[in-house]
Amino acid sequence: MKYIIGIGGVTNGGKTTLTNKLIKTLPNCCVVHQDDFFKKPDHIQVGEDGFKQWDVITALDMEAMTNTIKGWMENPVKFARSHGVALSPVPAVASSEEQVHILIVEGFLLYNYAPLLEAFDKCYYISIPYEDCKRRRSTRQYTVPDPPGLFDGHVWPMYQKHRRQMEDSGLNIEYLDGVKSKEDLYNQVYQDIQNNLLNRL
Ligand SMILES: Nc1ncnc2c1ncn2[C@@H]1O[C@H](COP(=O)(O)OP(=O)(O)O)[C@@H](O)[C@H]1O
Ligand SMILES: NC(=O)c1ccc[n+]([C@@H]2O[C@H](COP(=O)(O)O)[C@@H](O)[C@H]2O)c1
C-alpha cells in the first residue's frame, strides 16, 4: 500500500520540524521538500512592490516536484534506495500490497497547485498567528536573506491569499495548531496516521 501525506502550512509553522520527527518513526517513509524546488534567484520575478516574489507558485518548479512524486509512486522501493532510506524487511509471505510505503510531501504552497491535489491521501495544514510567525521568521536564515519589509509586504499577504484560495478549493484538510509543543504536534499526527493506516489495511 502506498500512502501520501501532505504537511502544508504557513512559513515557519513547524512543517520541517514535524516532518523530521515523523520520518524517524514511520516505516518505509520517504520525504519530498517543496523548498528544494525553488527556482534560482535570477528567475524570481520582481513585483510592483519591488520585492522578489518568492511566495508564489511560479517561484517553484512544480513540474519537477510533481515528477519527483510520480517517481516515488511508480517505484517507492527504488526511490527509497536512491534516497538512502532504510526499508523494513519484507516478510516472505507478504505481497507488495501488504507492504506499507509512505511519502511525506512538505511545503508552504502544497495545496495551491491543482495537478497535485489528488495525489494526497491525507492533508495536514499547520497555522500559527501573525506575531509568532513574524518572530520565528526573523531568526530564520534562507539561502537568500529576507530584505527589510518582506514579511509584511509580501510573505504574510501572500500567505493569506493562498490560504483563502486553498479553503475555497474544498479540499479535505486537517488543521494543526502550530503553537502546540513540538511533542504534542508529533503525537497528534503520528496517532492520526496510525489510525488512518489501520483503517485502510
Ligand atoms: N511546535 C513548535 N513550537 C515552537 N517552535 C517551533 C515549533 N515547531 C517549530 N518551531 C520552530 O520554528 C522555527 C521554524 O520551524 P520549521 O520546522 O523550520 O518551520 P517550517 O518548515 O514550517 O518553515 C524553528 O526555529 C523551529 O525550531
Ligand atoms: N529556499 C529558498 O531558496 C528561499 C529563498 C528565499 C525565500 N524563501 C522563503 O521560503 C519560504 C517557504 O519555506 P518555509 O515554509 O520553510 O519557511 C517562503 O516564505 C520564501 O519566502 C526561500
Give the C-alpha separation, 199 to 126, whole Å: 24
For ligand 2, the distance from its centroid to the CA atom of residue 16, given in whole angstroms, is: 12
- Quote the mean pLDDT of the chain: 95
pLDDT in tens, 170-194: 999 999 999 999 999 999 999 999 9
Q: How many helices (H) and strands (E) does the chain have?
A: 8, 5
| Residues designated catalytic | 35
C-alpha cell at 120: 494526497
Note the pTM of the prediction, 2 decimals: 0.96
Q: Ligand 2, closest atom to CA 137?
A: 17
Give the C-alpha separation, 56 to 113, whole Å: 11
Task: Check whether 100 has a pLDDT greater than 80.
Answer: yes
Q: Is 141 in the pocket of ligand 2 (CB under 6 A)?
A: no
Amino acid, single-letter form, for residue 21: K
Task: Check whether 96 has a pLDDT greater than 80.
Answer: no
Give the C-alpha separation, 168 to 152, whole Å: 24
CATH T-level topology, domain 2-200: Rossmann fold (3.40.50)
Q: Ligand 1, closest atom to CA 19?
A: 17
The answer to whether 150 touches 51, Cβ cutoff 8 Å, is: yes
pLDDT in tens, 133-156: 999 999 999 999 999 999 999 999
For position 201, what pLDDT does the model report?
Answer: 80
Q: Which of the ligands is closest to the CA of residue 141?
A: 2
For residue 184, the 8-state DSSP code is H
